[in-house]
Structure 1
């Protein structure tokens, strides 16, 4: 973020310088008045593009560097993407010391006049690897005092970045005090572990006793449930027998009811049959009466016709007599 701020600040400075030149020499400037804004924009874009083309990331190791006193160790540091750092400033320094300079490379040479006294003659940069973006520092004859946090700082004309390298030195020399401290720490750790194991064992025993008691309670409950189950099964068998008896009684009742119903139906049918026969007789009698009435009606009609004809003959005779 800081590097981006400086890049933008440089671009703004370029913009103001160009604007000042345009104001001071308006007639002699090669860009026409209408093209001033376009020329100014192109200059700013070219400056920003040039600055961004030099951006890079300084990368260090993810894990700390472990080493033994007296050995040579390499503190890794490189530039991504791979870019030559020959023309850049490469500085290694300690974060935890007041006089922090460990190694300085600037203007194509090592400049270690302000280097920490304990590092003199023990630091080296491979100048050939600088062309490939590798700024790793070789530290010879490692000492216990070399343990700490290191910074790899790489700066160009328009950009800079840094990475952290942690160094841990393992002291393998015999130290009675340190050995006693380690042994006492181990003893305390063993005592704590033993106490934890004993507490865990006691806890497990309590849990085991509780589980055993719970198991006995469960067995008693299981026996009681088994007794209840057997009693329920006996009741179920008795209920089944009762249901079978009820079903048989129902069948008998149904059969008896069917018989009585059949008898009643036969009686009703016989009654209906008798009534039907009576109705048939009455119908025949009514039919006979109807036939008699029809015959009487027919006789009456004949008598009426005969009387009408006789009357007609009488009338005709009277008319004839009156005419004579």
Structure 2
């Protein structure tokens, strides 16, 4: 026979896994619901994912755009874009304002969006120590033509 303590431990472990799964699901659902939504038709020339700041950013910041799969969509650091850090999927299809720190406009232009580009995108600004100064999520919905 299986000892009672083992059954209780197994039940508690299963409950813990279920609570953790519910928590993770709730986190992603909430992130999805709270994100600003941008809707565009597939095949348009480009779409802009808006991200602005009111903070004065010095030249020693890093701006990263990532998709829902945590791929680097675009990276800006040390006063210029860093295409070598970009995911191959997005290379040559993204652009940011040239004076983004001065204009406080961290928006991303995604060229030729396809249905596969839909999902959550996050704009993150890091200081020189790697701490997040700002984060904004945007949900891109790409509709068929």
User: How far is 1:169 from its partner?
Assistant: 0.3
Residues 277-318 of structure 1: CA deviation (Å, up to 9, x unaligned): xxxxxxxxxxxxxxxxxxxxxxxxxxxxxxxxxxxxxxxxxx
Aligned residues: 109
Gaps of 5+ in 1: 1-60, 173-324
Report the alpha carbon displacement of residue 120 of structure 1 after superposing the two structures with TM. Answer: 1.1
Q: Secondary structure at the match of 2:36?
A: coil
2:54 is the counterpart of 1:80: yes
Q: Secondary structure at the match of 2:100?
A: helix
Contact 1:69 1:142 in 2 (8 A): yes
In the alignment, is residue 70 of structure 1 matched against residue 43 of structure 2?
yes
Cα distance between partner residues in 2 of 1:78 and 1:85: 15
Q: Distance in 2 between matches of 1:86 and 1:131?
A: 9
Bigger strand fraction: 2
Indicate which of 70, 75, 82 corresponds to 1:111. Answer: 82
1:39-54 equivalences under 5 Å are none
Find out whether 1:130 has 2:101 as its counterpart. Answer: yes
**C-alpha separation between the residues in 2 aligned to 1:84 and 1:132?**
10
Counterpart CA distance in 2 for 1:103 and 1:151 is: 11
Alignment counterpart, residue 120 of structure 1, candidates 85, 91, 97: 91
* Larger helix share, 1 or 2: 1
Write the distance in 2 (CA, Å) between the matches of 1:80 and 1:137. Answer: 17
Are the structure 2 counterparts of residues 92 and 132 from structure 1 closer, same or farther at C-alpha, using a change threshold of 3 Å?
A: same
- The answer on whether the counterparts of 2:66 and 2:73 sit within 8 Å (CA) in structure 1 is yes
CA distance in structure 2 between the partners assigned to 1:101 and 1:107 by the alignment: 17
Partner of 2:116: 145
Segments ≥4 residues shifted beyond 6 Å: none
Higher RCO (CA < 8 A, seq sep 6+): 2
- Give 1:201's aligned residue: none
Distance 1:62 1:150, change over 3 A: closer
What TM-score comes out, normalization by structure 2 length? 0.67
Mapped contact 1:85–1:133 kept (Cα < 8 A): no
CA RMSD of superposed structures (Å): 2.0
In the other structure, the counterpart of 1:176 is none
TM-score normalized by structure 1?
0.31
Secondary structure at the aligned position of 1:113 is classed as helix
